[in-house]
Amino acid sequence: MVEKSSAAEQPAKRKSAKNGSPEYLDKALAKRALKDLGEDRIVEMYEEMLVLRRFEEVAGRQYQMGKIKGFCHLYIGQEPVSVGAMAGLEDKDYAVSAYRAHGHALSKGMTPREVMAELFGKETGCSRGKGGSMHLFSVEKKFYGGWGLVGGQVPTAAGIAFAAKYRDENAVTLCFLGDGAIHQGVVHETFNMAQLWKLPIVFIVENNKYAMGTELSRASSVHDLSEKALAYGMARAQVDGKDLFRSYYGIKDAIDRARNESLPTLLDVVTYRFRGHSMSDPANYRTKEELEAEMAADPLIRVQQWLASTQIRTPDQLNEMDAKAKDIAKDAVKFADDSAFPDPSELETDIYVDWSWDIE
């Protein structure tokens, strides 16, 4: 059984952090990461976080301009979870997400162009413009959604893990879900089967404190959600998802368990979203002071200042990276703007069965 980490205590301590002070990063793990991953790989991970942040900021503006229809759930503030998780994967591994999927799709290797075009509903989108924000998908990158139904992706992910084990792929499946999804019945049926069948899967609960507008303590009898694994004899841990290094190593341990022992793990990854649940949510259920405290300890700025303080990169180089990330996001918008909507004749394409009725 995996012991509970001390990560749960860290967020409270960090509320007094100013400008994401790098001293709030785990120094021991940062040193270990330098040895294990090297400076260049860590810089790449920071650049990936930057692209996620700038992509989502631009996507939010495009939504307000009416270019993105339907729901749109931004990932701003949660970047260390997605980047840290995917950094521990190999190309043969799988990932399945929920409706807050933009960050996961980009971290799994999908291009900003194909993701933004999908948000715009254009034919160049990863789902040919038919899925939108909540239905990002790439067989090539082994990213199987983007699911709109709360908890619906969890049994699907277990099925993918079962198939990978059945075919002796030695591949791991990551399943992302929110703290609001963990109370769904089908999620617990899946936990039971995953442990019973010893599936190579990691269930990553991105605990951003709020299930839509309901604070965790009002919805859950336990506050360390990894304790839900105890009923199934499953390995578990609580991970600090606001620290890139803790996120990487906390999730990597579970990935290694899945790959080397073919065993599942439930992770409660503590994070925080800076925006509302969706673009239509003003987030009036939390105070201005709470949000300001969390933003003062912005996980992106923490890594930026750590890179500068350790002289791995100069302030000018960091500014260049940010400018590059903004250009990538702008390029994705231009690509989406310039792309065409799907032809009306495509309406029936990729439907489960042939449409046998005449429609207009």
pLDDT, tens only, 13-71: 444 444 445 557 899 999 999 999 999 999 999 999 999 999 999 999 999 999 999 99
Residue with tokens 């000018």: 316
The predicted-structure confidence for 184-230, as pLDDT tens digits, reads as follows 999 999 999 999 999 999 999 999 999 999 999 999 999 999 999 99
**Integer Cα distance of 73 and 52 in angstroms:** 13
- Residue 4 pLDDT greater than 70, yes or no: no
**33 Cα distance to chain centroid:** 21
CA distance 269 to 257: 17
Cβ 77 vs Cβ 274: under 8 Å = yes
The per-residue pLDDT for 308 is 94
Strands 235-240 and 265-270: parallel
3-state secondary structure of 125: coil
Which comes out higher in pLDDT, residue 2 or 222? 222
Neighbouring CB atoms inside 10 A of 181's CB total 22
Q: Which residues contact 138 (CB under 8 A, 6 or more apart)?
A: 105, 108, 109, 110, 114, 126
SS3 at position 52: helix
pLDDT at 351: 72
Q: CB neighbours of 152 closer than 8 A, spacing ≥ 6?
A: 186
Mean pLDDT, the chain, rounded, equals 91
Residue with tokens 């900003």: 112
One-letter amino acid for residue 185 of the chain: G
**HSE value, Cβ hemisphere, 13 Å, CA-based, for 263:** 16
| Distance in angstroms (rounded) separating the CA atoms of residues 95 and 83 | 12
- Rounded mean pLDDT of 74-81? 97
Cross-strand bridge partners of residue 214: 211
Q: What is the pTM of this model?
A: 0.91
Q: What is the C-alpha separation between 247 and 321, in angstroms, rounded?
A: 22
In this prediction, residue 8 carries a pLDDT of 35
Token pair for residue 134?
């909540």
pLDDT beyond 70 at 2: no
